[in-house]
Structure 1
């Protein structure tokens, strides 16, 4: 198997404390539950990252924590990056080009993560939620490069795309 990229937007966050800085906002109950559902979906489909690149924001780190509770990802190498907080698609690509795993999960924010998904795909999916990339939207790509340093926009087929509401009972 070649390289695989899993791209996830953070789960639904709380706006309950207006005094919190944006970077410090945590997940609300729905967000935690949705991240767990995405973790189960990843595990069921065999999409298990061996490296996770996570924004420094509280909500992205909590999304990762909730995803990994449902899978056997305790051995996944995790790197928290300040530079992924509110990153543009070009900044996200910069971080991905430094990855070392075979299957890499990136958890970041809109609008950068949604723009990245659209630009990274060879052909965008026709799923109605892909363009807006809602909270906890997750795309799995087959990467058409032999190393992360060589990845480019516009070359990578989408293997799967999911939003949590499709997984809720």
Structure 2
């Protein structure tokens, strides 16, 4: 939970997806074994740090839905509002910002895709994490960034404070 006057974004790229079935459309690709493990680890990490989303805005693609299902399987105390947003599938950074501005809860998790999510993540904080992989935003990468605002409509790029950055698929 975030204190009054703050908003927290947990921005996650979906975990590693499978490429072994060439007949599947990109939208329908599931997670592979490593991705399923990473998504579960992400849920455990979030629970251990108290990162409890009150609202989840997720791309409807199979791999993003499966990422959320694995994260939600961790011992999170809050059961968030869950919204699937068609525009998050391969969204541009501006689209992601517009979607974020429609959020209603103080702590929001967005689950999306590259290449847009990497650029969006880099635009949010005043100072980006020093991690050399941050700008690539690999699969299962998660940025936790706080904003000193009362409403998501007021969020602006460059005004966030990084609270955490973790990447679990980059092994």
TM bucket, shorter chain? over 0.9
Give the match for residue 46 of structure 2: 42
User: How many Å separate the matches in 2 of 1:147 and 1:104?
Assistant: 12
Number of matched pairs: 167
The one-character-per-residue Cα deviations of 1:59-96 (angstroms, maximum 9, x if unpaired) are 00000000010122562100001100000110000110
User: How many Å separate the matches in 1 of 2:50 and 2:66?
Assistant: 22
- SS of the equivalent of 1:164 reads coil
User: How many Å separate the matches in 1 of 2:169 and 2:141?
Assistant: 10
Is residue 2:21 matched to residue 1:17?
yes
- SS of the equivalent of 1:116 reads helix
- Relative to 1, partners in 2 of residues 1:165 and 1:62: Cα closer, same or farther, differing over 3 Å? closer
CA RMSD of aligned residues (A): 1.3
Moved over 3 A (4+): none
CA contact (8 A) 1:49 1:73 kept: no
User: How many Å separate the matches in 2 of 1:23 and 1:71?
Assistant: 28
The one-character-per-residue Cα deviations of 1:22-80 (angstroms, maximum 9, x if unpaired) are 00000000000000001111110000100000001000000000001012256210000
1:46-85 equivalences under 5 Å are: 46-72=50-76, 75-85=79-89
- Is there any run of 5+ residues in structure 1 with no aligned partner, and where? none
CA contact (8 A) 1:68 1:74 kept: no
Once structures 1 and 2 are overlaid, which stretch shifts more, 69-78 or 32-41?
69-78
TM-score of the superposition, structure 2-length normalised?
0.94
- SS of the equivalent of 2:11 reads strand
TM-score of the superposition, structure 1-length normalised?
0.95
Give the match for residue 117 of structure 2: 113
CA contact (8 A) 1:114 1:132 kept: yes
CA contact (8 A) 2:9 2:145 kept: yes
